[in-house]
Structure 1
């Protein structure tokens, strides 16, 4: 285990090896740290077994550099090991470098392929197709020096010494994209080689595809935690929101229609599913406001009505039904003030997290707004960006960067405001690309405050692309993304 001491705080923190030398032999793969050449392990190519001691590295057929091990999976013919083959540093989180995965590769330990039946060989070929889909997964981020799945408020509450634990132990498992394929690596105690990955845009994840609704435990197919971080004049603040599928048992069957039919699944456990979902939210985040942005007519209306009916049984959760398309007619960003006016008192009580440069706690966020439409993409991103801007304004006023009469939106020519708007546009595009394969719709509402002609054209092209991908590509992608 690689431990580094920070002399200013006298605290230790765990670091994953950032560059690995991969030696390919006919009978094994050997991974060795470039920083600490005595730290290495090997995987047998015949049966996928791990070995912690590596003595002789002569005679390798190939030697090259990889940037982390992201998991392993056993299929019919043997084990496949996922490695990061290229990366890009995209910035820093709380002073720690953050990288985006640019390419990945599965290494094959499948010498048993020749012993399979013809049918098993066909099945293995299909599984390999799924693995290639996994290799192309977009929006994966990680850090070698700290966990990036925990929000600032949760980090603040962690016990002293938690950063000395392996990175995968520090992480919130809900947001570790590859958690299911880390198990064998963890069992073999190669912690300093293991890279937990987060899918999204630094602080979000999930997989949409054909999945909808919730399971019987109350976990939804789409669930994303978004954290807006601000550092100003030695202060640090954080504002959290979450978005997620409607936590009912429901489905949407692809049938080549532009808007596939939505169907609520009748089940005796539905009330318990909804209760479990919101109980978990309240345990994690506190007071919860559920904002439902779905239409109130057609198939969406039936789903929304079913959601509202179940929410009436949960008096501790405030449910707000806001028909985005009807109440924001003309696609005007400022129309969302109607929603804010409905929830303003509770929203302001929830607040945000704020601490000084020396770590003193000034304020905690006491609750969360949970937003949803159908896919939790376009309408949800517009709404979240609006609420985030209100919170940002409150934080800047608290830090005395703005007076009580000033608002960030009054500085229409300010370059920083333009950068801020683009951050939320890019956030929407990033999530939408991961879910649907296209950019988000309604991005110009976030950027300009209204829908534009060019934005309508762009949205039309993206909508057609989504139709094609949803009907002809998403099945394979869903099966592939279910692996990690």
Structure 2
């Protein structure tokens, strides 16, 4: 079994970086030549006398990335243990470092900005790894894998977060390199798969029975990004904000053993869990993802952005690809849609239902209503099984209407409606095979046969509430099946301390998933943490809403650029060559100046308002002064919000088509402005000339 090295030393010299494992002296060392970036495996013994400028110890290699002027090796310099999962230690990445291939750095504003984006992204991103267990796959998928293969080859491509920056190593592994033109399995221990998302391990007890509860949310690396800049599907069928959440319960866990790839003597001898009892693993998987259509919300500085939906026919191939993968991996899909049936969200709901109608061969629809809402449930089921897409079961639930007035307990209506499907769905259950603790093989007793795919507009707040209810219902069922509770009982009534832990675990999940997408913690966490909607929670939601508005309009552009850069959506090395700066602000100078004019005029207005006046001074000069600057401030603020497209902090590396179209439309409107119009037109004529000159200079340099 080939597993990553948990101890890696790096030797830095003027002509190479050399990585080796002190605990594996006979293993080949990984050498990366400078400045070419050529990768090769060398005999570690032959490098013992090599002169190095410095030597350091690292937790692992995250990958390599080519920026505009240089290639960098990204290493994990510090990792924090977060707990043991089935005896295997799990780590969270705390800090990273970049090793440049060029010994003498050429400073460039764009290069510095790229590095700054990556550093802030890696610092903020919750990333986890293990040297000995696959965090990217659910236990059910792990049970189907060959545990003798290298850890990185078993990783789920969707959740192998550093897959792009590991491309150079993986290509070398499969194809070889200069002087070594054959597959190189010796590099396998240097390839460390990393997961992005939420992971908490809680050793606890239930009614005196020791057990471990784990919650993992794996975020997909496909179509990853920020809230308003990444919605719906891409052409390959990847959904925005797609997360797989696995709730795991382990009985008779060892609590010690596999800290990395090397097991303790107890683990190698094949002893079972605590006090000789067999270790049992139970897990339940759910997914969330954006509405599977081509749609976007276009920021214009308004609190509620405008929704744009392309034709359902255009998105149909992408939706087919998305659900083909969902069905292949999970089986039947129960599609729980929680968006509003009225107002601006109605079009998104309709788009989803039209898509399901097109996918299912003979759809049968049913609707239920009550006094609160005209459409409490809307169910689309296949009339007969004719194609794989007849394994889709659509369930619409009007979450907001049913739970308004702090009546969040009515969300339980959805669970009651899905009861038969949840019973048939089952959950995964397995035990460790005797003597197999080291290689992780499981004896499967039960399989989960379907999955619930939940969404709201953002797949955050409403989604997490419903997912926690589904997880709660399933955990009740697990405890009954294990004989820890009587049938019909609820763990919330049986063990209040366990109930408190469970609530906070799912509230933490809500916050982590929300922060990575929207930049803030989740809403409605008072329901998850306390079991009821509170006025304090409603006030906190108001604070979150305002913070999201500011972040999503003014701060998310660079965050989206960081996602696109790390995940390979944008490649600086293949960008256009020229003297123009990638991150330069291309708006006319007068457009850029308007917010400063607004701030300056407000400052002068406040200054004039609070300035003391002499006893005999005239009133009118100060009134005229105040009126003038008040008019300037109001005009500036009106101009900003009337042309909001020009003041949103858009992504610059991978511009959104709707942003480009909206920008040109807004600029055309500004040209007609009586005050700024002529000045903006004159600026654009000068800018066009400058761009032409830059293009000519770039052509000459290339030649």
TM-score w.r.t. the length of structure 1 is: 0.91
Equivalent position to 1:227, from 237, 243, 246 = 246
**Residue number in structure 2 paired with 1:154:** 141
Shift of 1:58: 4.4
Q: How does 1:416-431 map to 2 (within 5 A)?
A: 416-431=498-513
Give me the whole-angstrom Cα distance separating, in 2, the residues matched to 1:191 and 1:460: 49
Per-residue displacement from partner, 1:201-241 (whole Å, max 9, x unpaired)?
13311433021110122111221111111123643211110
**Residue number in structure 1 paired with 2:493:** 410
CA RMSD of aligned residues (A): 2.0
Contact 2:225 2:563 in 1 (8 A): no
Shift of 1:462: 2.2
Contact 2:523 2:544 in 1 (8 A): yes
Q: Does 1:196 align with 2:193?
A: yes
Cα distance change on mapping 1:422 and 1:57 into 2, 3 Å: farther
Contact 1:263 1:303 in 2 (8 A): no
**Residue number in structure 1 paired with 2:347:** 302
Give me the whole-angstrom Cα distance separating, in 2, the residues matched to 1:208 and 1:391: 31
Equivalent position to 2:163, from 179, 184, 195 = 179
Shift of 1:405: 2.8
Contact 1:78 1:111 in 2 (8 A): no
Give me the whole-angstrom Cα distance separating, in 1, the residues matched to 2:121 and 2:396: 37
Q: Does 1:24 align with 2:12?
A: yes
Q: Does 1:469 align with 2:551?
A: yes
Equivalent position to 2:396, from 311, 321, 328 = 321
Give me the whole-angstrom Cα distance separating, in 2, the residues matched to 1:237 and 1:58: 51
Give me the whole-angstrom Cα distance separating, in 2, the residues matched to 1:177 and 1:89: 19
Contact 1:77 1:110 in 2 (8 A): no
Contact 1:208 1:436 in 2 (8 A): no
Shift of 1:360: 4.0
**Residue number in structure 1 paired with 2:591:** none
**Residue number in structure 2 paired with 1:102:** 94
Q: Does 1:64 align with 2:60?
A: no
Q: Does 1:126 align with 2:113?
A: yes
Structure number, greater radius of gyration:
2
Contact 1:332 1:445 in 2 (8 A): no
Give me the whole-angstrom Cα distance separating, in 1, the residues matched to 2:35 and 2:430: 53
Select between 309-318 and 389-398 the one with higher mean Cα deviation. Answer: 309-318
Shift of 1:154: 1.3
**Residue number in structure 2 paired with 1:432:** 514
Q: Does 1:350 align with 2:425?
A: yes
Give me the whole-angstrom Cα distance separating, in 2, the residues matched to 1:68 and 1:438: 30
Q: Which runs of 5+ in 1 are unaligned?
A: 1-12
Q: Which runs of 5+ in 2 are unaligned?
A: 174-186, 200-215, 253-278, 361-381, 383-389, 434-441, 568-703
**Residue number in structure 2 paired with 1:366:** 449
Cα distance change on mapping 1:17 and 1:360 into 2, 3 Å: closer
Q: How does 1:243-322 map to 2 (within 5 A)?
A: 243-266=288-311, 268-313=313-358, 314=360, 315=382, 316=390, 317-322=392-397
Equivalent position to 1:448, from 530, 533, 536 = 530
Shift of 1:258: 2.0
SS at match of 1:125: helix
Give me the whole-angstrom Cα distance separating, in 1, the residues matched to 2:513 and 2:13: 39
Equivalent position to 2:30, from 10, 20, 41 = 41
Shift of 1:336: 1.4
SS at match of 1:268: helix
Cα distance change on mapping 1:236 and 1:49 into 2, 3 Å: same
**Residue number in structure 2 paired with 1:73:** 65
Give me the whole-angstrom Cα distance separating, in 1, the residues matched to 2:116 and 2:125: 17
Shift of 1:428: 1.0
Equivalent position to 1:399, from 468, 482, 497 = 482
Give me the whole-angstrom Cα distance separating, in 1, the residues matched to 2:301 and 2:311: 25
TM-score w.r.t. the length of structure 2 is: 0.63
Give me the whole-angstrom Cα distance separating, in 2, the residues matched to 1:199 and 1:56: 37
Contact 1:46 1:112 in 2 (8 A): no
SS at match of 1:289: strand
Q: Does 1:208 align with 2:225?
A: yes
Equivalent position to 1:330, from 405, 408, 412 = 405
Shift of 1:261: 1.8
Shift of 1:333: 3.8
Contact 2:312 2:354 in 1 (8 A): no
Cα distance change on mapping 1:61 and 1:442 into 2, 3 Å: same
Shift of 1:467: 1.6
Q: Does 1:383 align with 2:372?
A: no
Cα distance change on mapping 1:310 and 1:187 into 2, 3 Å: closer
Query: What count of residue pairs does the alignment treat as equivalent?
Result: 463
Contact 1:252 1:261 in 2 (8 A): yes
Contact 1:232 1:399 in 2 (8 A): no
Cα distance change on mapping 1:386 and 1:201 into 2, 3 Å: same
